[in-house]
Amino acid sequence: MTSTAPEAPRPHRARSVALLTGVSALSAISPLIALPLITRAAGPTGFAEIAIGQALGTLAATLITFGWAVRGPVEAARSSHPSRVFRASIVVRGANSIVILPVIALVAAMASHADDHALAIVSALAFSLQGLSLSWYAVGVGRPLLALVFDAVPRIVLNLAGAVIALATGIPLLYPVILLAGTFAAFALATWLIGLRERFAIGEALRDARSAYRGGWRTALAAGLLTFSETAPLSTLGVAASPAAIGFAPFDRVLKYGYIGVYMITSSFQGWVSSATEAAGIRRMRRAVGIHGLLALAFGAGFALVAPSATPVVLGPGFEITPLTALFGGIALAAMTLATALGMCVVLPSGRDGAYLASVCVAAVLIVPAVLIGAGVGGVAGAAAGVATVQLSALLALSVAALPTLRGR
């Protein structure tokens, strides 16, 4: 079979960015909608198991994606045949899943504190499949409807359905089971409709996948290290059997939902930034960073001020975040928001993959000792302080990497 003719490029206007941002926001809040139900169905101990599985699954999803969520929008936006880019990603992510899913299940069992480990293992597998999402492709081609139909709506439906059924039956395990099955079904349908219906050469897809492995390893490694630096705190405390692990879990989950929201919003700008060149591209980069600077202030202040009072109301009795812990969380979220914009909207679109990787390594190296030392000195608040310190270090490194491009050099 042969490939189809090149596809007509789609324009990337501010309207597309706004719509994609709205769809991304829906995807981001879907777990939050279900969170109060899950905490009541699982209780503090069961929720800690789900949180450990989600942390590990998020890392596994990044490894499965192999950088497509970061560089994919850029490649799709600049390609004359974006569905060919999507098919290459299918091969890469499918092969990665075969290797990574059994490993992450084993690690989840080691980090779990429960006797049967099932809740942590199935949660890890369910959230790992987020690595099969097509939202990056929708951003690259400027098609918000794709992200809405195959990403945002399934996430909302699956999270709510799983949480309601888990609460009604008193079986928390049903939540990740439903999420796992539904996520895979949505991926399979999207893969068929977008990548496999048209005529294409299998050999071509395999060659494109090999090229993706050779050319994308820096971005993939950077994405994996970045996710590690953001998901390692809770997993590290769990593996180390730290007494702060259970108390840290609600803070970690709320903060991570903030991270997810930031990533989804920032990714919505990638196609818009990458579809412009030279001076126009630099202007779009500056605008994206400026918008994220405002978002960083809003998100950071919101987390610090609202989290202490809102967390026990939303999650239920027994789940608390102290004002000091929330302050550190707000600092971490603000720093992460601006750093993400610098990396995804400036450093990577300018082709400086090596600089991006070097910047991300800073956080990956610091996170484990920072959290363990912080927890040892100050418990949950100390661990949160370690997280904030690492995020500020990452922001500094990415600022240095992005500055030459923003200055037009």
Those residues whose C-beta lies under 8 Å from the C-beta of residue 109, and which sit 6 or more positions away, are: 117, 120, 121
The string of pLDDT tens digits covering residues 196-219 is: 766 767 887 788 888 878 877 777
**Mean pLDDT across the stretch 300-321?**
82
Separation of alpha carbons 268 and 142, rounded Å? 9
Measure the CA–CA gap between 126 and 179, rounded to whole angstroms: 6
pLDDT digits (tens, 9 = 90+) for 159-198: 889 989 988 998 889 999 999 999 999 888 888 888 676 6
Answer positive or negative: Cα dihedral of 104, 132, 163, 24: positive
With a pLDDT cut of 90, the percent of the chain lying above it is: 25
| Residue 270 clears pLDDT 90, i.e. is over it | no
85, amino acid identity: V
List pLDDT tens digits, range 121-144. 999 999 999 888 888 888 777 777
Q: Which of 8-12, 271-275, 310-314 has the highest mean pLDDT?
A: 310-314
CA-CA-CA-CA torsion sign (75, 80, 83, 89): negative
Q: Which residues contact 60 (CB under 8 A, 6 or more apart)?
A: 100, 101, 103, 104, 124, 127, 128, 131
Q: How far apart, in whole angstroms, are the C-alpha atoms of residue 11 and residue 65?
A: 26
- In the predicted structure, residue 14 carries a pLDDT above the cut 70: no
pLDDT tens digits, 377-399:
888 899 999 999 999 999 999 99
| pLDDT over 70, % of the chain | 88
Q: Is the pLDDT of residue 272 over 80?
A: no
Return the domain boundaries, the chain.
14-406
What mean pLDDT, rounded, does the chain reach?
83
Contacts of 397 (CB under 8 A, 6+ apart): 358, 359, 360, 362, 363
pLDDT of the residue at 140: 76
